[in-house]
Amino acid sequence: MAKNRTKINGLPVIDSLRDLDVDVQVSDIKQARKNDPANCAIARAIKRKTGKEAKVYLTRTYVKEEDHWDRYITPPRASREIVSFDRSQTFDPGQYKINYPSKGQSLEYQRSRDRKTTWKGRKDRSAPRSAPQRTKNVREYDLKGKK
C-alpha cells in the first residue's frame, strides 16, 4: 500500500469503503454559510446525522473520524446545489447519496497513475496546455484547513 501523503489538519485522508446517505433539511440550509465547506447544508446534515465534522467541496466530501478523514465523491446533483447555494443561497432539501470512491477514483489509483504519466502519445510535446476552466464564485478547494 502506498504511503498516505494527503492530509487535512495533520490527519491522513483515506478512501471511504461505504456510501453515506444524507437527508438535507430546511434547518440545515437556513444555518448554512456560503463558500464555507465545513458549514454548508450537506456538511451540517452529515454532522446532524453522524455527529462528525465534515467538509464538502464540489467534487469531494471529507468526514472526520478519530484518527483520519474519510474521503467520498460528491455527486453531480450535490455539486450543482453547492454552486447554486454559494452564488445565491438557494439549496434543494432532500436525500443525497455521497458515494465512496470507485477503484479508478481511489487515492491509490491516482498515485499510481501519476507515476506512469509520460509525454508519449502527445503530438507536440512543446505545446503548452490550456488553463483549466474553473467554476467561479464558489468555495475553494483547500485541504490545509484554512476554510
**Domain assignment of residue 110, yes or no:** no
Q: Quick one: what percent of the chain has pLDDT higher than 90?
A: 63
**Domain assignment of residue 19, yes or no:** yes
How large is the C-alpha radius of gyration of the chain? 17
Range of the domain at 79: 7-105
* Grid cell digits, residue 119: 509525454
**Domain assignment of residue 131, yes or no:** no
Q: Read off φ and ψ for residue 68, nearest 5 degrees.
A: -165, 175
pLDDT at site 1: 45
pLDDT at site 107: 86
**Domain assignment of residue 90, yes or no:** yes
**Domain assignment of residue 134, yes or no:** no
* Grid cell digits, residue 98: 455521497
Determine contact, residues 79/87, Cβ cutoff 8 Å.
Answer: no
Arithmetic mean of pLDDT, 77-86: 95
pLDDT tens-place string over residues 26-40: 999 999 999 999 999
- CB-count exposure of residue 130 (10 Å: 0-12, 13-18, 19+): exposed
**Domain assignment of residue 15, yes or no:** yes
**Domain assignment of residue 74, yes or no:** yes
Q: Quick one: what percent of the chain has pLDDT higher than 70?
A: 77
pLDDT at site 120: 57
**Domain assignment of residue 111, yes or no:** no
Domain count, the chain: 1
